[in-house]
Amino acid sequence: MKRFMLLIATVAIALSLFAQTPKHTEWKFSTKRTATYLETGVYPATTGEGSIEFISKKATTAVGVKKGYPAVENSRKGDYWLMTIPVKNLKAGTAIDIWLPFLAEPSDTPHEFAWEYLDGKKWLPVTPADKNGANCYSTTSNKLPRMLWHAIRLENGVKRGNLRVRLRQCDSGISKSTLYGGGSGQAPKIALLDERIPSDTTRVLFIGNSYTYYNLYPMQLKELAWHEGHYLDCALYFHGGYSMKRHLADRVSRETVELGGFDYAFLQGQSISSLRIGTSADQNVVGEMGKMVDRVKKFSPKAKCIIEMTWGRRDGDNATKSKALQDIKTAHPEYFESYEAMQKVITANTTAIAQKLGVELSPVGIAWEIVRRERPDIVLYVKDGSHPSDAGSYLAAAVGYLTLFKEPFKADTPVRLNPEVARYLRSVAERVVLKAEN
């Protein structure tokens, strides 16, 4: 009898853990999968089940690849990119988070698109649309993608069938478009949440770089908030290696800030730009961050800006080989002698930036240092010793959540980590943000 009861308990726990695990579908575009796309016009998901394809009635439409990403030329009004995900037992009211980066050219006259999802038998706009059905547009850049990111809620449940999301061209001009995203977190992704009703809505802007898009940590933060009872309505722009100066000069980054109406804005400068402050290699780091804060405030007067503290390289100098960083390495080689030396300067200087500009700080680097000290078994980096692992991104998301809401975690949030590791990382985030531990 005891053995039977133990079996029942084990199954119940397993089912509970399974039920708490969010379902993700993700497309990590790479040259390894382009052959299938070029042959069939269908790009299979790399995580979960699903596909992306381009639907057109025009024989002149050409499916191809641009820099390893799915692309199409000569598309016209009514043509669309279609994301299809097989699902079953989705309850009415289920919320679904959708992330889709795309680029449409030419850029001189932005093309109109309808971003839609099929609910029952009716296509509905993901975000409010104009009279032509358009709710998103191609960027004014011919190189950098538009970042679409929003959650929808199904009015109709799905017992067994497909979840469909599409990006449909609304204007009659001839265009070409490309879906974007490599394997580190930039690619299209859909996360199935649940049918709960959050208590509030907070509009959040993320401006950052590769530390932002690795493992798509803002999406993890959004999921954390959802399971704690808060809905984050987010916009995001990132570009690898970007400083605030480069963001200020980037068209798409400026357009993202100009959307306005944000309650908070997370600002993450180039990962070791804070090391430059007060040195001969300074490059006006504080001044450029101040300009970005002013720009955010111009379009979102009530927004609270949050500077994200980065973390030191795993081995100090080992992963800092960029020629663009040689000036600071030459000026202060002692910063790069070890992780500890680098983190000490990053912590002090990022804290000083936030104080000088009168903005909040998300102290990810401090939490990172505690985890490294207490739990060296938890791998926070990927192989390059710089960018975050899944655990590192989750830690950043936990710190970011607490920086926003200033309240302890209540839910055992579903994650793609060992539950014990996730609980420990959340506890460290609480110690740092809520108890000011360092």
Q: Are strands 230-238 and 200-208 parallel, antiparallel or unpaired?
A: parallel
- Token pair listed for 62: 């050409």
Residues 345 and 429 in one domain: yes
Q: What average pLDDT does the segment 330-354 reach? A: 93
Residues 144 and 209 in one domain: no
Phi, psi angle pair for 169, to nearest 5°: -75, 130
**Residue 65, pLDDT score:** 85
As a whole number of angstroms, the distance between CA 329 and CA 317 comes to: 8
**Residue 320, pLDDT score:** 57
Residues 132 and 250 in one domain: no
Q: Is the pLDDT of residue 358 over 90?
A: yes
- Token pair listed for 15: 């089912």
**Residue 37, pLDDT score:** 86
Number of domains in the chain: 2
The residue from 122, 150, 179 where one domain ends is: 179
- Token pair listed for 356: 């000088």
**Residue 252, pLDDT score:** 87
Does 414 or 133 have the greater pLDDT score?
133
- Token pair listed for 302: 């009530």
The residue from 154, 179, 204 where one domain ends is: 179
Q: Could you tell me if residue 114 is inside a domain?
A: yes
Residues 256 and 379 in one domain: yes
The residue assigned the tokens 């960027």 is 139
Taking 3-state DSSP, the helix, strand and coil percentages for the chain, each rounded to the nearest 5, stand at 35, 30, 35
Q: Are strands 158-169 and 80-90 parallel, antiparallel or unpaired?
A: antiparallel
To the nearest whole percent, how much of the chain has pLDDT over 70? 92
Q: Could you tell me if residue 29 is inside a domain?
A: yes
The residue assigned the tokens 């960018």 is 387
Q: Are strands 112-119 and 136-137 parallel, antiparallel or unpaired?
A: antiparallel
Give burial (CB, 10 Å; 0-12/13-18/19+) of 77.
middle
Which residues is 84 bridged to in the sheet?
A: 51, 164
Instruction: Sheet with 304-308: list strands edge to edge.
Output: 230-238, 200-208, 264-267, 304-308, 360-362
Element (H, E) at 372: helix 364-374
Element (H, E) at 265: strand 264-267
Write the CATH number for 168. Answer: 2.60.120
As a whole number of angstroms, the distance between CA 135 and CA 146 comes to: 12
DSSP assignment of 148-182 equals EEEEEE-SS-EEEEEEEEEEEE-SSS-EEEEE---
**Residue 183, pLDDT score:** 67
| CA proximity to 85, closest of 36, 145, 154, 31 | 154
Whether the upstream peptide bond of residue 419 has omega within 30° of 0, thus cis, is no
DSSP state of 129: -
Residues 285 and 405 in one domain: yes
The residue assigned the tokens 């001009």 is 173
The residue assigned the tokens 């950043």 is 396
Residues 126 and 208 in one domain: no
- The answer to whether the Cα torsion of 186, 192, 193, 195 is positive or negative is positive
Q: Is the pLDDT of residue 376 over 70?
A: yes
Give burial (CB, 10 Å; 0-12/13-18/19+) of 137.
middle
**Residue 225, pLDDT score:** 96
Element (H, E) at 31: none
As a whole number of angstroms, the distance between CA 36 and CA 295 comes to: 44
Across 28-32, 106-110, 304-308, 319-323, least confident range: 319-323
Q: Could you tell me if residue 184 is inside a domain?
A: no
Residue 221 contacts by C-beta under 8 Å, 6 or more apart in sequence?
232, 396, 397, 400, 401
The residue from 144, 179, 214 where one domain ends is: 179
Burial 203-217 (b: 16+ CB within 10 A, else e): bbbbbbbbbbbbbbb
Q: Could you tell me if residue 4 is inside a domain?
A: no
Instruction: Give the start-end residues of each E strand in 310-377.
Output: 360-362
Residues 90 and 234 in one domain: no
Residues 255 and 393 in one domain: yes
Residues 31 and 71 in one domain: yes
Q: Could you tell me if residue 71 is inside a domain?
A: yes
As a whole number of angstroms, the distance between CA 250 and CA 97 comes to: 27
DSSP assignment of 49-88 equals S-EEEEE-S-TT-EEEEETTEEEEEEE-TT-EEEEEEEEE
Write the CATH number for 370. Answer: 3.40.50.1110
How far is C-alpha 108 from the geometric centre of its chain's CA atoms?
Answer: 28
**Residue 10, pLDDT score:** 38
Q: Could you tell me if residue 41 is inside a domain?
A: yes
What tens digit of pLDDT does each residue of 70-123 get?
988 889 999 999 999 999 889 999 999 999 998 887 667 789 999 999 999 999
**Residue 318, pLDDT score:** 56
Q: Is the pLDDT of residue 233 over 80?
A: yes
Q: Please count the other Cβ atoms lying within 10 Å of the Cβ belonging to residue 176.
A: 19
Average pLDDT over the chain, rounded to whole? 89
What tens digit of pLDDT does each residue of 185-232 get?
788 999 999 999 999 999 999 999 999 999 989 999 999 999 999 999
Domain extent, residue 365, equals 196-433
As a whole number of angstroms, the distance between CA 324 and CA 347 comes to: 22
